Homo-oligomer: A and B are copies of this chain.
């Protein structure tokens, strides 16, 4: 039996690449995607396409309504910022920040990891072009890994053998967006299946000017890879 990993899949470019890395390392991949009340459904559809194209063993949509307590432009009716330059994007925590999102997603993935006997959770977080989210920083990931091993049955049992039960893998954390794209292209990721835009039109066409579109387009350009994004 190959080792099992849980993959946090969002439908975006980074998590698709993380899935490809996990597959290339020989993991049987169980993908979890969160239906958390985001503004549009294109992310979920993209995630499902990506999981199928990269031969995931499972694709699970987990529903939880983070709109229940409000507070983010990604889930509430706050305007998504447009046409900001790279400095403005990276210098502050943006309004698109969803409170405790990665903490919540990693926690739920940890529960799934226990039930599926997975030894790893892969997350496509990135601290370079990380758009200012605190829950994408390496020190957060390291601390989370320690916490999950202390707080789960699998972790407690592994500690008796002086081991970690669950490892949080972030293979993209130190890569630039262009490095991520080059890595994914080498691993056969079809980025036309992915969706990054925070503010797409009715058919899923990307706006080209939100922070996510700006970072993505610059990444393809810097990687020297033709941008497969369908813009509105």
**Footprint of B on A, CB under 8 Å?**
60, 62-66, 68-71, 93, 97-104, 106-108, 110-112, 114-116, 134-135, 137, 139-140, 143-144, 146-148, 150-153, 155-156
Contacts and interface: CB of A to CB of B under 8 A. Distances in A.
Contacts of A153: 93, 97, 99, 134
Identical chains in the assembly? 2
Contacts of A60: 68-69
B69 A100 contact: no
A116 B98 CA distance: 13
Nearest to A92: B153
Given A134-B151, A134-B152, A152-B135, A100 B108 contact: yes
B150 A134 contact: yes
A96 B140 CA distance: 30
A100 B107 contact: yes
Nearest to A66: B111
A100 B30 CA distance: 17
Contact of A104 (B68, B102, B107, B143): B107
15 contacts: A60-B69, A63-B65, A69-B111, A69-B115, A71-B111, A99-B114, A100-B111, A103-B107, A103-B152, A104-B111, A134-B150, A134-B151, A134-B152, A137-B151, A144-B151
